[in-house]
Amino acid sequence: MSHRRLTLLVLITLAAGCGARHASADDQSATLEFGGLSRTFAVHVPPGHPTGLVMNLHGGASTGSAQERLTNFDAVADADGFVVVYPDGIDGNWADGRGAAEPDRGGVDDVGFLAALADKLRSQYGIDPGHVFATGMSNGGFMANRLACDRTDLFAAVAPVSGTLGSNVACNPSRPVGVLEVHGTADPIVPFDGGSMRGRGGASEIVSAPAMVQRWRTGDGCSGEPADDTLPGAGDGTVVHRFTSAPCAAGAAVVFYQVDGGGHTWPDGPQYLPKAVIGPTTRAFSASEAIGQFFVAHAR
């Protein structure tokens, strides 16, 4: 791995410390024993009775608390009534199936852990089944896609940002699932066109962003061509095309935000490293707000 790439992945944790935190008296940091490991996570609780649960997964070499700051999702959770949980991966990574990180090579069952954590919090906060969702950035985006592949019985919709799926990862969802995918065409870390990528844990082969979206369209029984609209620009050099396939089977939808010229970033989040390193952050839309609205619309 190049020094530049390693430095990038480590500095995501340090550079994402921007954005206001919407603390609640009910917020907590806690642990869950699973698979012989003590797993840590932080929870943000909205005012009033929660209407849903969102699992927000960090990127490689990062943490749940850094993901909280990067996405500023607490504000969205308060507006939409979501409990949002920010778990921590082992060694800063998720076992997303590519075999490119220590948890994968060590046989860590992150699908099982995240499902157990979702079940625990859904019961604890009285959240209806069918109102559980997952999103994530980079390695967390890969993990969100894997949850949709393996546990559509639990997750009603997912929203991966800058993450697809390993070419070696099977995907056989048991039922339709709502998917909102976001990817920049100039992403220097997770190539938009797929193929070989090199992350913190080593090399892997990945599905391209358009192919990942088509997999979900096929799996969700979406017919016809997606509706294509271009969002108003923000003068930042990016152009955002939104491709919407809806309605699909069982009321699911597949929405793809293709950010032409966009980098390895969270739309409308902080530009956590220079554009020369990670590419630009689009200001044409807020990923967190779009994801929150999508989850509200696609509960079961």
Cα–Cα distance measured from residue 197 to residue 20, given in angstroms and rounded to the nearest whole number: 33
pTM of the model: 0.93
CATH of domain 3-297: 3.40.50.1820
- Arithmetic mean of pLDDT, 60-87: 97
pLDDT, tens digit, for every residue of 254-283? Answer: 999 999 999 999 999 999 999 999 999 999
Residue 2: band (very low, low, confident or very high) from pLDDT cuts 50, 70, 90: very low
The number of beta carbons lying within 10 Å of the beta carbon of residue 44 is: 24
User: Structure tokens of 164?
Assistant: 């697809």
Own/partner contacts of 220-227, CB < 8 Å, gap of 24 or more, are 220/176, 220/177, 220/179, 220/245, 220/248, 220/249, 220/252, 220/253, 220/254, 221/176, 221/248, 221/249, 221/252, 222/246, 222/248, 222/249, 222/252, 222/253, 222/254, 223/248, 226/254, 226/256
Residue 19: band (very low, low, confident or very high) from pLDDT cuts 50, 70, 90: very low
Cα–Cα distance measured from residue 45 to residue 22, given in angstroms and rounded to the nearest whole number: 10
pLDDT, tens digit, for every residue of 186-207? Answer: 999 999 999 999 877 789 999 9
User: Structure tokens of 264?
Assistant: 């390895």
**Per-residue model confidence (pLDDT) at position 23:** 60
Q: Where are the domains of the chain?
A: 3-297
Q: Each residue of 24-42: b (16+ CB within 10 Å) or e?
A: beeeeeeeeebeeeebbbb
* Least trusted range by pLDDT, from 10-14, 54-58, 168-172: 10-14
Strand partners, 252: none
**Per-residue model confidence (pLDDT) at position 26:** 73
- Arithmetic mean of pLDDT, 208-213: 98
